[in-house]
Chains A and B, each alone.
Chain A
Amino acid sequence: MSLHDFFIEPFTFEFMRRGLLSAILLSLSGGLLGCILVLRRLALMGDALSHSLLPGVAIAYALFGPSTSALFFGALLAGLLTAVGSALLSRLTRVKEDAAFGSLFIIFFALGVAVVSTLQSRVDLMHFLFGNILGVSSTDLQLAALASATTLAVFVVFYRPILLETFDPIFLRATGGRGGLVHVGILCLTVLNLIAALQAMGIVLSLGLFLLPAVTAYLWCDRLARMLVLSVILAITGSVLGILGSYHLGLASGASIVLSLGVFFLFSAVFSPRYGLGALLLQKLRAGKVVLRETP
Chain B
Amino acid sequence: MSHPVHDIIRCSHVTVRYGARLALDDVSASIPCGTATAILGPNGAGKSTLLRTLLGWHNIENRGEIRIGETHAQHLLPRLAYLPQRHTIDWDFPITVRAVVAQGRYPSLRPWQRLRPSDHAAIERALGELGIHDLADRQIRMLSGGQQQRVFLARALAQGADIFLLDEPFAGLDLYATEELTHILRSWVAQGRTVLAAVHDLALARAHFSHGLLLNTQLVASGLIADVLTDTLIDDAFRGGRCLHDHANPLRSVTTTEFPS
Instruction: Please list the residues of chain A having a beta carbon within 8 angstroms of any beta carbon in chain B.
Output: 39, 91-92, 156-161, 163-164, 166-168, 170-171, 173-177, 218, 221-224, 226-227
Interface residues on B, range: 20 to 34
Q: Does B130 contact A (CB under 8 A)?
A: no
In the complex, A91→B82 CA distance in Å?
Answer: 26
Contact of B103 among A156, A171, A221, A223 (CB under 8 A): A171
In the complex, are the beta carbons of A158 and B111 less than 8 A apart?
yes
Asked if residues A222 and B78 are in contact (CB atoms below 8 Å), the reply is no
Nearest 9 interchain pairs by C-beta: A175-B107, A174-B55, A174-B82, A222-B139, A176-B77, A157-B112, A227-B94, A160-B106, A224-B94
Bound: A222/B98 CA distance, A: 12
Please list 16 pairs of residues, one from A and one from B, whose beta carbons are closer than 8 Å in the complex, sorted by A's number: A157-B112, A158-B111, A164-B103, A167-B95, A167-B103, A168-B89, A170-B84, A170-B88, A174-B55, A174-B165, A175-B77, A175-B78, A175-B106, A175-B107, A223-B94, A223-B95
Does B77 contact A91, Cβ atoms closer than 8 Å? no
A233–B259 Cα gap in the complex (Å)? Answer: 71
Interface residues of B in 79-98 (CB under 8 A from A): 80, 82, 84, 88-90, 93-96
* Residues of B103-146 whose CB lies within 8 A of A: 103, 106-107, 109, 111-112, 139
What residues of chain A lie closer than 8 Å to B84, measured between beta carbons?
A: 168, 170-171
Let me know if B49 is at the binding interface, CB within 8 A.
no
Chain B contacts for A171, CB-based, 8 A: 82, 84, 103, 155
| Residues of A close to B52: CB separation below 8 A | 170, 174
- How many CB-defined contacts (below 8 Å) exist between A and B? 80
Residue on A nearest B138 in the bound complex, by CB: A222
Whether A39 pairs with B88 at a CB distance below 8 angstroms is: no
Known: A92-B19, A163-B95, A170-B82. 9 other contacts (CB 8 A): A164-B103, A167-B90, A168-B89, A174-B55, A174-B77, A175-B77, A175-B78, A221-B94, A224-B95
Contact in complex: B99, A223 (CB < 8 Å): yes
Least CB separation from B112: chain A residue: A157
Which residues of B lie under 8 Å from residue A156 when comparing CB positions?
112
| Inter-subunit contact B107/A222 (CB<8 Å) | no
Give A163 to B93 CA distance when docked, in angstroms: 10
**Residues in B neighbouring A161, C-beta threshold 8 A:** 111
- In the complex, residue of chain A having the shortest beta-carbon distance to the beta carbon of B57: A173
Residues of A with C-beta under 8 A to B139: 222
Most buried by B among A168, A171, A222, A226: A171
Shortest distance in angstroms between A178's beta carbon and chain B's nearest beta carbon? Answer: 10
B217 at the binding interface (Cβ < 8 Å): no
**How far is it, in angstroms, between the C-alpha of A170 and the C-alpha of B77 when the chains are bound?**
13
B159 beta carbon closer than 8 Å to chain A = yes
